[in-house]
Amino acid sequence: MFTNIQYGSSTNTSAMDVCSVKEDCAWVIDGADPLFPAHISDCASDGEWFVKEFNSFLKKHMALSYRSMEDLIKRGVQMIHQKYLKFPDAEKLFDLEMPCASCAIVQIQQDQLVYFVIGNCEVLVSFTSKQTKSFSDLRLQMLDAKLLQVCQELKVKQRMPMFQVRHFLNHMLVENRLRRNIAEGYYVLGEDCEAVSHALCGSIPLKDIASVSLVCNGFHQYVNCSRVRKHLDEYLKVKRSMEFVEIYDQMLVEKNGNEQMARYLQKELSGQSTVVCFDVLDSKQIGVHK
């Protein structure tokens, strides 16, 4: 059972995020228009439409779910995509023109807290032992962190001129965001329900948990940060260099993820966030076996 619920947000009014806490399930959803946004829905943006639809689906089905969380979310993504395709001209769009979202979801299942995280969201668990652990999806941030390592190597080891390193960095920031829902890239909710299989999932015994925080970290502002938008046209339509992409692909596989650098990049590229916090009572504390 979830109690002592508190909400906090530093988002602006245009943010596409929602959060909800029920008796035994909770979630945050953060939406985004893609790099090539199309506006065909009846909302202010298609990213906002997707978030509203997914939030409505969870409200209707989470508490009644007899499926695994992964199966339920796959079903929701499929239903929402089919509904989106009913808008005029939707079938003419390609995947990177369609809206997407990140989310963090938790649910009590028997004596466990089951969690699901995909995209730029996070589950923070405070344990009865006074320790805290983060379950976060930083795959896009890790790509950007690896990019900085690659740029440093090009500058120092291969003596690439600084102006060319900057050019390479700006172009590959765009390239990273094009790696949506592909192997060695990052995964989000959207048109492809198979992306759900790549979410971070697990469970924690309720008896070990004191409280939980769900955080969305400014997904839209990170994916579509001003630096990426500034160089998008140049990269794709004018000066796209396949030589750069090949260099990056070759060097990327040699780099390890750096979580500290990834978190630094998130802080730098986006100051937007929403958080919901609540205490967790297990079945013995409330006298009911869920």
Distance CA 109, CA 179 (A): 34
Closest Cα to residue 70, out of 198, 212, 181, 186?
198
Summarised one tens digit per residue, pLDDT across range 130-175 is 999 999 999 999 999 999 999 998 888 888 898 889 989 998 999 9
Tell me the two tokens of residue 114.
């089951």
Break the chain into its structural domains and give their ranges: 2-140+182-223+270-286
pLDDT at 83: 96
pLDDT at 12: 64
- The DSSP annotation for 105-174 comes to EEEEETTEEEEEEESSEEEEEEETTS-EEEEE--HHHHHHHHHHHHHHHHHHTS---HHHHHHHHHHHHH
Q: Kindly report the pTM of this predicted structure.
A: 0.90
* Cα separation values, 286 from 112, 113, 261, 280, 283, Å: 15, 15, 42, 10, 5
Span 2-140+182-223+270-286 CATH architecture: 4-Layer Sandwich (3.60)
Dihedral sign of CA atoms 141, 143, 145, 147 in order: negative
Summarised one tens digit per residue, pLDDT across range 227-236 is 898 898 888 7
Tell me the two tokens of residue 280.
């967790």
Mean pLDDT by groups of 10 residues along the chain of 290 residues: 87 76 94 88 92 96 80 96 94 92 94 95 95 95 93 87 90 92 94 96 96 92 88 77 83 85 83 87 54
